[in-house]
Amino acid sequence: MVNNLDIDNLIKKVDSKYSLVIGVAKRARDITDNSEALVHSNSQKSVTVALKELDRDKINITR
């Protein structure tokens, strides 16, 4: 688990684990480039914030 996030549940929200990695990486890059985070997080890491956004259904990852 990454900061209490269940990776198995996150993978169910996308079509494959590869889509999860690519989609979260793209969103993390957007956050790093000063895009507004859609959820509050104590973490300063953009990947963790992106994972929390996906977990809380704030973003969708599609092919």
Residue 35 lies in a domain: yes
Q: Above 70 in pLDDT, residue 17?
A: yes
1 pLDDT exceeds 50? no
Tokens of 50: 């992106």
Q: Does a structural domain hold residue 61?
A: no
Percentage of the chain lying above the pLDDT 70 cut:
95
Domain assignment present for 22 = yes
pLDDT for the residue 3 = 63
Structural domains counted in the chain = 1
Residue 49: pLDDT over 90: yes
DSSP structure class, residue 37: P
- Give the residue from 46, 30, 42 showing the smallest Cα distance to 4: 42
Q: Stretch 19-33: mean pLDDT, rounded?
A: 97
Alpha-carbon dihedral 13, 17, 18, 19, rounded to 10 degrees:
0
In a domain, 36, yes or no: yes
User: What residue numbers bound the domain in which 19 lies?
Assistant: 7-55
pLDDT, mean over the chain: 92
Q: What is the pTM of this model?
A: 0.89
Q: Report yes or no on 2 lying in a domain.
A: no
- The letter for the amino acid at 21 is V
